[in-house]
Amino acid sequence: MAESFHRQPTERVHSPYDVACAAAEALGDQWRALPGPGLVTGHLHSGDRVPFTVGVCEAGDLYIRNDSVGDSRHLPVDPTADLLSLGAAVARVIGHIY
């Protein structure tokens, strides 16, 4: 992971898969979460099978990507926030890239 002068790495409390599971719960029963290799990413699938990836960028921020169209956004919350806040943030951002 790349380090910048202004942002030093923080200890990650939750894996991207944990965040994907929290987002699936926030989004409802039509959504499911799957782990990526080594829990480095989490994958979400909607009821109509649109795939999304939750991951960590080089700067240490969490992002969500619509794998069908390639659009992605960083989550507007600190990656060390509580799991419910992270899941809710993913659910909000998915509405913009679905």
- Segment 5-15 mean pLDDT: 63
Has residue 1 got a pLDDT over 60? Answer: no
**For the chain, domain boundaries:** 16-97
60-87 burial: b if 16+ Cβ within 10 Å, else e: bebbbbbeeeeebbebebebebeeeebb
- Range scoring the smallest mean pLDDT among 7-11, 34-38, 43-47, 82-86: 7-11
Total-model pTM? 0.85
Tens-digit pLDDT profile for residues 20-68: 999 999 999 999 999 999 889 999 999 899 999 999 999 989 999 999 9
